Amino acid sequence: SSSGQSIAWSPDGTRIYYTKFDFQRNVNLYNDIYYYDLRREEEVRVTRRLRARDPNPSPDGKKLVFVTSKLGKTRLALLDVSKGRRRPAREEDITYITEESETLYETPRFSPDGSRIVVGVRQSGGYKDIWILDSAGNKIEELMHDRANDGGAAWSPDGKVVYFASDRTGIFNLFACELETKKMYQITNVLTGAFAPTPSPDGKTLVFSSYSARGFDIHMRPADSASWREVLPYT
């Protein structure tokens, strides 16, 4: 159990990073980051008492970007994981790349070349949008700023498209933003909700979560853009 919304593979496929609750002194409840080592078949703790969640490794596997929270505010942070650690990381071991803010960050993701980070943001006024930052945490652009709920962003393997889920049709569906043209396309048209798009390494398939009367299931569909439908800006 945790409030983390995502899991992530290490680039070499030997680790799965995730968020997990930890009780301290039977009173305090903290999110912290762990990974499961598939070779050793063991769980390894990465952070301690950082209220950290939503880890994502850089393409070279040397750094983790993740969200930390404190007193209702969040920040994005980096942790060097290129060398083995004898103990879980504490605050003195991490580097913050954004200021403490009432903007609530979620699910940061490195671009395939490691130069950018796509991240979900919840802002005052009820806005839930997607930003792109550089690797130092500086905002490059806002992909949207509208009344739709947008999130779960993921890069295409070539870094040219950002996939995301949005309720701009009244039901959560999958969409794509073409970064060069800023055009947006609807990918799915389901009746009960589609979430968390993730492309395959070759970019040919999208895996996503969908909801039905049976609960949540995992589905796959081609990522062929020929079937996408361009959508107008949401107002």
Mean pLDDT by 10 residues, the chain (235 residues): 77 96 74 95 94 96 96 95 88 96 95 98 94 97 95 97 96 97 96 95 96 92 94 85
Sequence-distant (≥ 6) Cβ neighbours of residue 191 within 8 angstroms: 171
pTM higher than 0.85: yes
Residue 131, pLDDT score: 98
Residue 3, pLDDT score: 61
Residue with tokens 């550089």: 134
Residue 51, pLDDT score: 93
Q: How far apart are CA 76 and CA 97, in angstroms?
A: 6
Residue 235, pLDDT score: 74
Q: Which two tokens stand for residue 220?
A: 């796959």
Sequence-distant (≥ 6) Cβ neighbours of residue 114 within 8 angstroms: 58, 59, 60, 135
| Alpha helices by DSSP H, the chain | none
Numbers of helices and strands, H then E, in the chain: 0, 20
Q: How far apart are CA 150 and CA 173, in angstroms?
A: 10
